[in-house]
Structure 1
Amino acid sequence: MTHPPSGTVICSWADLQATGTVLYRADGFEGFVILDDYLPRGYVDACPHNGMPLGGDQEEVDYQTREQDVIICRWHGASFLKDTGECIGGPCAGDRLEPWPVERRGDEVVAL
């Protein structure tokens, strides 16, 4: 799976702040950006346990717990640290989400 080219605009900073999670789907790539203490963090949208998108069969879903402290897989409840993608609970404990490098540039979040 090829990540979007460097400089690709993923979303606006305002959208990420408003929702906490923004999905990005283009050219066969599926990823998401999540807000972690005012830092955007990108991950490929595939659970290490089964390869399915973390949001289950929903098009738009918040990938965080209600407390917004960890990322959660809606298929089977695996939980992941936001800053590293490490699975800390569930059937894939010890595995990690695949990172997708992103950063904030002014009013936008872009792929690196």
Structure 2
Amino acid sequence: MSDLPKKYLICSVSELIEKGLAFRFQVELDGKRKPAFILKYESQYFAYLNECAHIPVEMDWQPGDFLDIDKTTILCAMHGAAYLPDTGLCVRGPCKGARLKKIPIYEQEMQLVTDLPVFPDE
């Protein structure tokens, strides 16, 4: 029997394009399903809860549309908070200095996985 943590599939790397739409999904945290997203930014993959650090509301303008017009920050459509895609740090807005909640992800055989239970976006 293996002691390695179970990995849950989020999506294939081919489903994400550089600075394009994010892939939306849900994860189970503390017994509750929470909205999350993963995006490709500067050839790396980053995943966060889809929850603004200011007030916990979903942030995308349209499903999967998180980046500002210049494609340099994740922007909350509700409050205008701007987060760095690679760290989740809020650099502008009502929660400056706060961070998005990061989802641990791993790339395995061209698939993006996590050790948290994953569910389709609703």
**Residues 3-46 of structure 1 deviation map (CA, whole Å, 9 limit, x = unaligned):** xx851111111111274411112551211111121111111111
Return 5-14 or 91-100, whichever deviates more. Answer: 5-14
Larger radius of gyration: 2
How far 1:82 moved relative to its partner?
Answer: 0.8
For structure 2, list consecutive stretches of 5 or more residues without a partner in the other structure. Answer: 116-122
* Paired position in structure 1 for 2:22: 21
* Paired position in structure 1 for 2:68: 65
Letter in 2 for 1:23: R
**Residues 26-80 of structure 1 deviation map (CA, whole Å, 9 limit, x = unaligned):** 5512111111211111111110110011126x4x131111222111111111100
Letter in 2 for 1:36: Y
* Paired position in structure 1 for 2:99: 96
Aligned partners of 1:75, 1:84: CA distance in 2, in Å? 20
* Paired position in structure 2 for 1:11: 11
Q: RMSD over aligned Cα, in angstroms? A: 1.9
Match of 2:43 among 38, 42, 51: 38
Matched, 1:106 2:112: no
Letter in 1 for 2:105: V
Aligned partners of 1:6, 1:97: CA distance in 2, in Å? 24
Letter in 1 for 2:66: Y
Aligned partners of 1:6, 1:84: CA distance in 2, in Å? 25
For structure 1, list consecutive stretches of 5 or more residues without a partner in the other structure. Answer: none
TM-score when scaled to structure 2? 0.77
Aligned partners of 1:69, 1:108: CA distance in 2, in Å? 25
